Structures are given as C-alpha cells and as structure tokens.
Structure 1
Amino acid sequence: MLAAQAAADCRGQQIVILDMRAVSDLFDFFVIASGTSRRQLMAMAEEIDRVLTEKTHAVRLGIEGEGDSRWILLDYGDIVVHLFDPETRAYYALEELWSDAAPVQFEPRSPAVPVGTAEDEDTIAEEEDALDEDVPDEDAYTPEEGEDTD
C-alpha cells in the first residue's frame, strides 16, 4: 500500500495496515505508523499526501492534528492514516480497539533504519562526513588570485 510505503520511506516505525471492510462501512483501511518526533510525523504526513495525490489522484478529505498534536490523522475516504508518537499510540491503542479488523501483511521495499540505532548513527555519521568534505578547512586559507595578503 502506497501510504504505508511512504511512511516507511520517512523512517516510520511499527507500520500496521488494518483491513476495516468487515468492521466498518465508513472506510476500507487504516494505516497506522509511529514517528519519534513532531518533525518526523509532519514529514510522514506530507510525504503520504504527496504520494497518494501524485500516484492515485486521491483527494484528502481532511487532516487533524497539524498543530502541536502528537497524533496526525489523514482522511482519504476509504483510507485513513494515523501517525502517532509512541506514547500517544500506546494510549489510544487503535490496534486493540479495532482488533476485529484483519491485519494486512506489509513489508517495506527498503526497510527503514530505526532512528537511534547503531546503524542509524553510522548512517548519520557518513552523511555528516560527506557534508564536511565540501567545507574548506578554516586553517587552510588560500588567498584569491590578485588578492593583497599584507
């Protein structure tokens, strides 16, 4: 499912898809994912919206939780996306509340590296090293051609 993959592409964690068709007439699927920060939740919401709009021409009917909320809800009619921080997800426990819904198997095409793991720290270090290569050493000043150095 595109919404779940978009969440994975933004390092979403614990991504679950629930088939709601047998338990609700209002929507077909829930996509539930967690993020570790408000910024990550917003990035996931923006990416999911972009992907669904571009690839399926889905029209978002509503969005809730854009401010300081720790739960963002994107409503596309048949698909409802819930993005939580871990504490809020545990508190509302949608998977338990909707336990009659059938889980849908989902494996991201390229698994996200969980934020805060050693592998994530290595990736961040590699990215920072690559950025540092483009920054000249402060002590290695070379005057421009024709520049007066006195």
Structure 2
Amino acid sequence: MQKTGWEIAKQAANVANDKKAEDILVLNMEGISPVTDYFVIASAGNGILVKAIADNIEEQLAEAGVLPLHKEGYVEGRWVLLDYGDCVVHIFLDEERNFYNLEQLWADAPSETFMENAKNERK
C-alpha cells in the first residue's frame, strides 16, 4: 500500500524524534510548492547525528516499502535531503539550518511542530 505525503512526513518526523533530532517541524506545502506536498525539517548538533537520523528515516520508511527518489548531502553530513516525492525531509546541522532558514523562506506554509513521542494529528 502506498503511503501519502502526510503519512511519510509523520513517520519521518517520529523517527527523527526517536533519534533525538531537535526542532522537528512539518510544513504543509500543498498549493504552495509545485515540487512536494510536505517538508520535514529537523536539526542535529553534529554530522554523525545528522547521518544517523537520515539513516534511520531511510531504513524505517524502506521497511514500509517507501524508498527515496533522491538523496543529497549525506557524505558531508551538514544538510541531508531525502526526497520521497510527496514529502522532502531535510536534516540539518544547527548552523546550516540557521543559515538557510527554510522556515522563514516558506513562512506562508502551515506548520506543525513535533515534540518528544509525537502523536500529533494533521491540522
């Protein structure tokens, strides 16, 4: 069964949370971006953790039959992008996230913050 963009975003956010990602945010890009329906944005304090979060998201979604269409930035570990089509996951080093500030760039997008052990429903 194919997952929706929202289901991918929610699972990615929860996996990121389980791996101790910080400031996890899901942006609803429907009607705003022609490229994707959801962004998941998360931060980590070091490159090893950025890669570990990306690895776990990729593994958990693969177990559910969802594979990324594209992956960028993994070798550097400063900003890893996992493109799942209807959902794009961004895992940043803290300083990279502050520099690129995607939240500000897409400030018109409805957002949802995921907290520890998130059980949030779609707004």
2:51 equivalent in structure 1: 42
Deviation at 1:54, TM superposition (A): 1.1
Match for residue 58 of structure 1? 66
Corresponding residue of 2:101 = 93
Q: Which runs of 4+ in 1 moved over 2 A?
A: 104-108
TM-score, L = length of structure 1? 0.69
How far off is 1:69 after superposition?
4.1
Cα distance in 2 for residues equivalent to 1:109 and 1:84 = 20
Of the candidates 10, 19, 24, which is equivalent to residue 10 of structure 1?
19
Residues in 2 aligned to 1:106 and 1:59: alpha-carbon distance in whole angstroms: 23
User: Which stretches in structure 2 are left out of the alignment for 5+ residues?
Assistant: 1-9, 119-123
1:28 maps to which of 28, 37, 45: 37
Aligned length: 109
- Which of 67, 78, 82 is 2:86 aligned to? 78
Deviations 1:58-113 (A, max 9, x none): 12111100112411100000110000011110000000001111102533327xxx
Structure of greater Rg? 1
Q: Is the 8 A contact 1:74 1:81 kept in 2?
A: yes
2:23 and 2:44 mapped to 1: Cα distance? 9
Change (3 A) 1:69 1:51: closer
Unaligned stretches of 5+ residues in structure 1: 111-150
Partner SS, residue 8 of structure 1: helix
CA contact (8 A) 2:12 2:61 kept: yes
- Please report the TM-score for the alignment, with normalisation by the length of structure 2: 0.83
Cα root mean square deviation, aligned: 1.3
Larger strand proportion, structure 1 or 2?
2
Does the aligned pair in 2 maintain the 1:22–1:101 contact within 8 Å?
no
Identity of aligned residues (%): 40
